[in-house]
Structure 1
């Protein structure tokens, strides 16, 4: 069964990548890495550039399961774009990296993470 990773090119995003890779191997894959780009907000640091995606692929090259890397453009919210991929792939697991360095993040999840946790039709692993 598929594992979908909502990937952002940050240290916590790469930690989530490692966790997603391990889960994909355990479950027999594939691993679908998804980086969502919001139209009109291309300078958002959550948007992965080619060299960041190359770095991610370097970490995944030893996997025995299929790896699919996608950049999805949307004018909707990020969670909707990720949920579309989860449903399309019939994913068994969605993996997310959550930033822990913000004061508010210790008390509340961001709206994207909340929506994904409440709406995903599969298990969600938060790293």
Structure 2
């Protein structure tokens, strides 16, 4: 079954990617790596450039499952884009990374993470 990872080019994002790869291999894949770019927000550190997407792909190149990398653009809610990919791919699992410099409670109350946790049709793994 498919595993989708919401990827951002940070140490936390790469940790989520590693966990997603393990889960995709355990479940028989594929692994879909998704970076969402919010239009009109140039310079956002969550937006991966081509080199960062290639680094992510190189990191999982030896995976025993099919890998797909998608960069989705939106002027709307990032969580809506991830939910749409989960549904399109009929994913069994959505993997998200959370920033370590904040405590868990503040992230669970964040709009994007809260929406994904409560609205995803798949299981959600928070790394």
Indicate the TM-score class for this superposition, using the shorter chain for normalisation: over 0.9
Q: How far, CA to CA, are the matches of 1:78 and 1:36 in structure 2?
A: 6
Aligned-residue Cα RMSD (Å) equals 0.8
Q: CA deviation at 1:112?
A: 0.6
Q: How far, CA to CA, are the matches of 2:34 and 2:104 in structure 1?
A: 25
Q: Which runs of 4+ in 1 moved over 3 A?
A: none
Which of 99, 105, 108 is residue 107 of structure 1 equivalent to? 105
TM-score, length-scaled by structure 1: 0.95
| 5+ long unaligned stretches in structure 2 | none
Q: CA deviation at 1:107?
A: 2.5
**Partner secondary structure for residue 106 of structure 2:** coil
Q: How far, CA to CA, are the matches of 2:60 and 2:87 in structure 1?
A: 23
The number of residue pairs the alignment matches comes to 125
Tell me which residue corresponds to 1:91: 91
Tell me which residue corresponds to 2:30: 30
Is residue 43 from structure 1 mapped to residue 43 from structure 2 by the alignment? yes
| 5+ long unaligned stretches in structure 1 | none
Tell me which residue corresponds to 1:60: 60
Tell me which residue corresponds to 1:74: 74
TM-score, length-scaled by structure 2: 0.95
Tell me which residue corresponds to 2:123: 123
